Amino acid sequence: MSALPGVKALVFDVFGTVVDWRNGVARDARTFLLRHGRADIDPHAFADAWRKRYQPAMEEVRSGRRPFTRLDVLHRENLNHVLRDHGIDPDGSAPEELEWLNRAWHRLDPWPDTIPGLIRLRARHFLAPLSNGNILLLANMAKRAGLPWDAVLGAEAAQAYKPQPEAYLRTAEILALAPGEVALVAAHNGDLAAARKAGLKTAFVLRPTEHGPAQTTDLRAEQDWETVASSFEDLAERLGC
């Protein structure tokens, strides 16, 4: 018996839910910072500072103050700001070096339960990302990590950034499904709340170290989501996979 009866497709938040963005970005930031003689900068703090600019950059698009702009471009602009904030002039680095660091977001590692859980879930559901990442980013990530998506959908497909309702509704439309036949799997209560408001079903998966050992957010399900799981493999159990 499935905790999500009638759901045909599972769509996934990616950054934090599917992959460990913080340690992945810090790993490549450490390489860059050491190359520039800046061993004094904590690479995890650098990753946190870069991520902190993520929502404000997307809000420029969501508000209509800026046309839709893919996340790779927003990340690259944010990287320049973060480098300057840490006393590093981005103009002093080769463009290809900055592009390599910007693509740290393409090289993120999945959580240990991600791939075995996805393989089980895929036996009974169509799987795709519903992420603010762009298609190339998500495709490169999947190719490197072996994520078994049935389709790679990025924010360009919806031309909207979560939590705009269009991000959820257009994804369901692309899959030729009613919103109630789609469930969002996410480690973020806010994302799930927006998905539910758009008519999607919801599955909360706990990721208590997404923001590091001192994480204070999303440590529990804050609403009565259709299902709550401790991992993707636990989710597979709850969905009868």
Contact present, 210 and 48 (Cβ < 8 Å): no
Domains of the chain, CATH where assigned: 9-18+111-238 (3.40.50.1000), 21-106 (1.10.150.240)
Q: Angle, nearest 10°, between helix axes 21-35 and 95-102?
A: 160
Q: What is the pLDDT of residue 93?
A: 87
- Mean pLDDT across the chain: 97
Question: What per-residue confidence (pLDDT) applies to 33?
Answer: 96
In tens, the pLDDT along 89-143 reads: 998 888 999 999 999 999 999 999 999 999 999 999 999 999 999 999 999 999 9
Residue 227, pLDDT score: 98
The answer to whether residue 13 scores a pLDDT higher than 90 is yes
Question: Count of CB atoms within 10 A of residue 30's CB?
Answer: 18
Digit-coded pLDDT (tens) for 18-41: 999 999 999 999 999 999 999 999
pLDDT over 90 percentage in the chain: 97
Task: Quote the pLDDT of residue 220.
Answer: 98
Give residue 6's pLDDT.
95
**CA nearest to 147, candidates 108, 90, 103:** 108
pLDDT given for residue 92 in this prediction: 85
pLDDT at 144: 98
The SS3 of residue 144 is helix
Q: Over 99-121, what HEC string results?
A: HHHHHHHHCCEECCCHHHHHHHH
Q: Give the N- to C-terminal CA distance of the chain in Å, as an integer.
A: 9
pLDDT above 90 (res 1): no
pLDDT at 16: 98
Confidence of residue 192 (pLDDT cuts 50, 70, 90): very high
pLDDT score of 56 = 97
**Which of helix, strand or coil describes residue 97?**
helix
* CA distance readout (Å), 239 to 98, 115, 124, 143, 170: 42, 16, 9, 26, 25
